[in-house]
Amino acid sequence: MSITTSNLYSESYSVWEIFLKAIPNLDPKKRYRINLIHSSMPNINDKGFNGYPFIVLSIGVGEAKPSFDMRISEKTFRILISIWSPESTDIDGMSDKIINGLRTEGNLPEFQVLSLDNSNFSWDLDKNGKKILFRNINIVAKNRI
């Protein structure tokens, strides 16, 4: 399926999720059949929680020159990939693999990446009082729809 004005969020999320899932050995714990990618922060106290590390993927959509009719327009996508783990080595390794995947041409033919940046480590406490590190990878991309 392709990204259209009627599926901007759902299909662009799907494209980025497929991109992340296609990165070889992205999960440093080598867990199989595990939902590594989430659309929001998972409940870490839930019996179904698969453990750390995990990724929270979110998509924002904008338009420099809004076109509210049916004409083709250029959309700007803001992709936020947050990597969470108690281990800094997990975050570094996953970040390296994602950045290298972005640099490989052809991995995301739907998008032209305009900018890429990431944060230093930040941290928070989970519900059990355990210190958890995270890094945000911020991507701005465009697509003509």
> How do residues 17-36 score in pLDDT, each as one tens digit?
999 999 999 999 988 777 89
Mean pLDDT across 116-120: 88
Taking the domain 8-144, which CATH number applies? 3.30.2000.10
Q: Are 95 and 83 in contact (CB under 8 A)?
A: yes
Determine contact, residues 42/102, Cβ cutoff 8 Å.
no
Average pLDDT over residues 81-88: 95
Which residue do the tokens 């106290």 mark? 45
Between 8 and 14, name the one with better pLDDT.
14
